[in-house]
Structure 1
Amino acid sequence: MRAYKTKMVERIELPDREERAANLEAAGYNVFNLDADDVYVDLLTDSGTGAMSDEQWAALLRGDEAYAGSESFRELEAAVGDVMGFENVVPAHQGRGAENVLYGALVGEGDAVLNNTHFDTTRAHVANQGAEAVDCPVEGAHDPDAEGDFKGDFSVERAREHVDRVGAENVPVVVLTITNNSAAGQPVSVETTREVAAFADDIDATFVIDACRFAENAYFVREREPGYGDTSIAEIAREQLGYADALVMSGKKEGLVNAGGFVAVEDDDLFERAKQRAILYEGFPTYGGMAGRDLAAMAVGLREAVDLGRVRDRVEQVRDLGDRLRDAGIPVYWPPGGHAVYVDAGKLLPDVPTGQFPGQALVCELYREGGVRAVELGEFAFPGADRPDLVRLALPRRTYGREHVEHVVETLAAVQDRADAVAGLEVVDEPEMAELRHFSARLRPV
């Protein structure tokens, strides 16, 4: 049963099939280039696309817009301290801004950064610093059919093998992304978090948790990890995050807001370096590229994020979508994560070879068939990576209802029924940085 009710609605319309086909061609077969008004159910991302609560809207109206010393920043600072356990906070306009601030202060030319799995912007920021992004997923993390409660975990064994090759002095940062977005949103156990913290300490590296979906991860810990079944989401989150030296956060996920992010650190010296870099790239350290109203709304959102009813609604809606797709015979990564269901496009479109981007072909067909916008996280988004061609259906928080979920299932089933008629795609124009090509590249049918 839902833990909230709707107070505001937005009208949406499904363009007719001919219009959708024309929109797709004009967008260069890249759904990032579509106008939002032309999308019926938008599952491109859960970042900044959710609905805020009445308490957040109230905070928004009370926001303090002072350039320096804003009371709204003090509210965010207190919320980060209470919910996440960190007192030193540097705000940023969104998660990638926070990544630029933190990794720019920690990483240099020739370094290596270890992560359970880097997501696109994290990988790009590491590369932009002249460093190598090294993934250390556990066995089965990229196998849609593998069993496991915590398939998002970090392989310390793989990490040690890399350190042995390059030397600990060249690994300044170890990152744990919870949940693991690039591994189908799979959770990370508290036990693994302890092990990674000990490993980072052993090689004298800064241990960073990418905390974008920390409450969803805590919910899975409560469900699946022995000893946590009666522990609150807030307590689990505080413990898990407490093993880190620093956090990087996109508030557009579990800050439950439409803009914003932050870095939180333990070390005073790193705090000072992060603040100075933030001044250069984001703004004064008590606003960090955000309006005071957005700081205030995020402060409320962080406290709401760890409410059991809120996070249960969230995870159960994603799970319901996964169950419905699986029952309809759609090949999906199992079990579903906390923010999205990932469809195995390679299996759904077996006649489209990997070199012709079956994931992106499926993304285009979802829009053509039902006005549904999703995102490819396979060969197109991660060129050369050893992973399946997955399509992510990311559900915005507190936004869509059961009818929308049913429409998504019906759309996928219709595409599957004509899978043998779906053509592959080829890239005709792409940006210089391969790590970010899926945001703006243009394609055409083969």
Structure 2
Amino acid sequence: MDYKKYPAEPYRVKVVETVKMVDKAERERVMKESGYNTFLLPSEDVYIDLLTDSGTNAMSDKQWGGMMVGDEAYAGSRNFKHLEETVQDIFGFPHLVPTHQGRGAENILSSIAIKPGQYVPGNMYFTTTRFHQEHNGGIFVDIIRDEAHDAGLSIPFKGNIDIKKLENLINEKGAENIAYVCLAVTVNLAGGQPVSMANMKEVRELTAKHGIKVFFDATRCVENAYFIKEQEEGYADKTIKEIVREMFSYSDGATMSGKKDCIVNIGGFLAMRDEELFLKAKELVVVYEGMPSYGGMAGRDMEAMAIGLQEAMQFEYIQHRVLQVRYLGELLKEAGVPIVEPVGGHAVFLDARRFCPHLEQDDFPAQSLAASLFVESGVRSMERGIVSAGRDIKTGEHHRPKLETVRLTIPRRVYTYKHMDVVADAVIKLFKHKEDIKPLRFTYEPKQLRFFTARFEPYEK
């Protein structure tokens, strides 16, 4: 590997948190008590925590300083004004509804924009997004390009929408039966794959002809902007902020989990252009979240989010963030470990189908692989496969995604390259005795978003 390709951390560490490594016997005991679900592990027993990048970020000195000037007024907080102005400047949306996190925004958008029976096409599902769409009577349709379902195929912009699929859906169902197009930038469950600017333009042009709105899932939009700058012709000399602004010019609005690319620990928002929809959203935010000027966030959280958004526009920050993830991916590829390619912006996804060829999908290979990795090393990851996909709400049968993965998700500004070395060594060691990974079965299966709280047990086939 050419280590010169990977820049040093563009920050200095001011505060540290001590972590511990419990012995393997203890990890085995804790894993069993947690029902072989990494979400149920006590964090104090985790050595390197790659469960998620959602809310696990390290905030900057400026963000912590901003927390000290939180205006906690119930209405009219000046921190809301700062956040609103920041979103308007970076994204170009005139209207902002703050929420406690991204799924709060998804809930409100789905409630005001979907009529029962309408279709919601998108570039691969996301768990909470699809839940809210279906809960409000929508029918999700996956229109991502076919290549996104091939873990071993390394091509740029695997997150793109297949324009022909979208056009066929409109022609078949009628534009009036399309609630909106949900375009994720980047596509989490495809491996953090980006969407090209050209594809966004094509989607906008097609939907504009039919009067269909486009809402972005903006959760990792800064990572997407980096890939555009790095890989798409005509953008090498553009700033991250310029690219982000152009991206969202092709949409009618966006949901945002601020816990990712806003580099904070809590918060989100729904932003949009349409004033009529905005008024409906403001009515619902009072019911589900709080006043339209705080929406489930404290003033200090809104201030930290505004500052974090501005910091996320810095090229040095996002370059290091993406390349640190890529570094881990390269270590695993060089060792022959099967991963989703190309490596995305927030995580390295282990391909559990190829990692555990001795297990069928009904054996929950990704769930078992994630549990085994913790027992092996103290590294916590998460399943992104058949368990996360859930069941069809009509038939009760498992959704069976082609991608069966374990996500090694890198928090922002938390770990160093040395931590990535430790993770890679642990995965490689486990891969060498992968046949020891046992099949799992449910001992408790919740009806909704089961991957969060389900429990499992190993068994002999």
Residue correspondence of structure 1 range 162-241 to structure 2 within 5 A: 162-241=169-248
TM-score, normalising length: structure 1: 0.98
Indicate whether 1:437 and 2:450 are aligned.
Answer: yes
Distance 1:31 1:2 in 2: 28
Contact 1:88-1:266 at 8 Å conserved across structures: yes
Distance 2:418 2:325 in 1: 14
Contact 2:253-2:272 at 8 Å conserved across structures: yes
Indicate whether 1:389 and 2:389 are aligned.
Answer: no
| From 83, 89, 98, the counterpart of 2:90 | 83
Residue correspondence of structure 1 range 226-375 to structure 2 within 5 A: 226-375=233-382
Deviates more, 1:143-152 or 1:243-252: 143-152
Q: Which residue of 1 aligns with 2:422?
A: 407
Distance 1:264 1:413 in 2: 43
Distance 1:160 1:173 in 2: 13
Q: How far does residue 158 in structure 1 lie from its aligned partner after superposition? A: 1.0
Indicate whether 1:45 and 2:52 are aligned.
Answer: yes
Distance 1:6 1:150 in 2: 34
Q: Which runs of 5+ in 1 are unaligned?
A: none
Q: Which residue of 1 aligns with 2:413?
A: 398
Q: How far does residue 197 in structure 1 lie from its aligned partner after superposition? A: 1.1
Contact 2:9-2:416 at 8 Å conserved across structures: no
Q: Which amino acid aligns with 2:433?
A: R
SS of residue in 1 equivalent to 2:147: coil
Q: How far does residue 156 in structure 1 lie from its aligned partner after superposition? A: 1.6
SS of residue in 2 equivalent to 1:380: helix
TM-score, normalising length: structure 2: 0.95
Distance 2:399 2:187 in 1: 19
Distance 1:91 1:296 in 2: 12
Deviates more, 1:178-187 or 1:400-409: 400-409
SS of residue in 2 equivalent to 1:140: helix
Q: Which amino acid aligns with 2:454?
A: A
Deviations 1:36-72 (A, max 9, x none): 1111111111000010000100111111101100000
Distance 2:169 2:199 in 1: 18
Deviations 1:16-40 (A, max 9, x none): 1111111111111111111111111
Deviations 1:89-146 (A, max 9, x none): 0000000011111111101211110111121100111111121111111121011121
Deviating above 4 A after TM superposition, structure 1's stretches of 4 or more consecutive aligned residues are: none
Q: How far does residue 147 in structure 1 lie from its aligned partner after superposition? A: 3.2
Q: Which residue of 2 aligns with 1:29?
A: 36
Distance 1:386 1:412 in 2: 23
Distance 1:45 1:10 in 2: 18
Distance 1:300 1:290 in 2: 15
Q: How far does residue 162 in structure 1 lie from its aligned partner after superposition? A: 2.1
Q: Which amino acid aligns with 1:419?
A: K
Contact 2:70-2:299 at 8 Å conserved across structures: yes
| From 120, 143, 146, the counterpart of 1:139 | 146
Q: How far does residue 273 in structure 1 lie from its aligned partner after superposition? A: 0.5
Distance 2:368 2:308 in 1: 36
Contact 1:377-1:389 at 8 Å conserved across structures: yes
Distance 2:189 2:332 in 1: 20
Contact 1:375-1:393 at 8 Å conserved across structures: yes
Q: How far does residue 385 in structure 1 lie from its aligned partner after superposition? A: 3.1
Distance 2:409 2:370 in 1: 13
Contact 1:14-1:39 at 8 Å conserved across structures: yes
Contact 2:190-2:403 at 8 Å conserved across structures: no
Deviates more, 1:278-287 or 1:386-395: 386-395
Q: How far does residue 255 in structure 1 lie from its aligned partner after superposition? A: 0.9
Q: Which residue of 2 aligns with 1:115?
A: 122
Q: How far does residue 403 in structure 1 lie from its aligned partner after superposition? A: 2.1
Distance 1:423 1:81 in 2: 51
Alignment: residue pair count: 444
Distance 2:203 2:145 in 1: 13
Contact 1:153-1:189 at 8 Å conserved across structures: yes
Indicate whether 1:377 and 2:392 are aligned.
Answer: no
Indicate whether 1:156 and 2:163 are aligned.
Answer: yes
Q: How far does residue 427 in structure 1 lie from its aligned partner after superposition? A: 1.3
Distance 2:173 2:352 in 1: 36
Indicate whether 1:67 and 2:66 are aligned.
Answer: no
Distance 1:417 1:191 in 2: 42
Q: How far does residue 342 in structure 1 lie from its aligned partner after superposition? A: 0.6
Contact 1:172-1:204 at 8 Å conserved across structures: no
Q: How far does residue 164 in structure 1 lie from its aligned partner after superposition? A: 2.7
SS of residue in 2 equivalent to 1:200: helix
Distance 2:235 2:458 in 1: 50
Q: Which amino acid aligns with 1:439?
A: F
Contact 1:426-1:444 at 8 Å conserved across structures: yes
Q: How far does residue 309 in structure 1 lie from its aligned partner after superposition? A: 0.4
Distance 2:251 2:139 in 1: 21
Q: How far does residue 376 in structure 1 lie from its aligned partner after superposition? A: 0.9
Contact 2:98-2:294 at 8 Å conserved across structures: yes
Q: Which amino acid aligns with 2:382?
A: V
SS of residue in 1 equivalent to 2:237: coil
